[in-house]
Structure 1
Amino acid sequence: MDDDDQLLDNRSVIECINEPNDHKAIKSLREWFIWSYLNVIFGLVILDLIGIGCSIRTNELKTKQNYAKASIWFSITLIVNCIATLSGLTFIGYLIIFKFHSI
């Protein structure tokens, strides 16, 4: 049992035991490390740390050649980074509007 089975347990999904590991498909999955680190500068710290953790998990699963779980974590990382970026931009926009409104 892998350590993220409890987090990603979906009883309706049937995984094939003999899943072929397509090396090109695994390499095409991105970890979004740079985006996660840039979000730390511009975004909300808690969401950014979650994004970095998801990036690390995706990278670990890619090195283990586990395409099914790596693709799930790839999607989770993408969603977390999108939310973090939009939250950060909203917060910065709010600060700019607040600053000019007070002038």
Structure 2
Amino acid sequence: MIEERFSTPRLQVPVRDPQTGAEYRADFVWTLADGATVVGEYDGTRKYIDPDMTDNRSIQEIVANERRRDEALKRAGAREIVHFNYDDVMRKTPLTMKLLKAGVPRRDAP
């Protein structure tokens, strides 16, 4: 994000679902010029396969929970939620395209 000159996000932002009262932490949050919010979520593969992180839940349960979390983030005001992984970051173009599509602004070149 820094190398591609995207505006600096806020990190680990607490978010409360107005419907359920559940609290989440959004990995990356951008507030755009029009007041809209874009949330970036880094999806590591460990949360799907590491027993210490899965709490014996199936991949289907984990994905369903992720969808519910996205719905909660949208209810809390996120206009867009951008999911990305290690490969997206390392290859740069996939992450860049996802952030541009979501409307995350870039700073001018130095």
TM-score (norm. length: structure 1):
0.31
Higher strand share: 2
TM-score (norm. length: structure 2):
0.29
Larger radius of gyration: 1
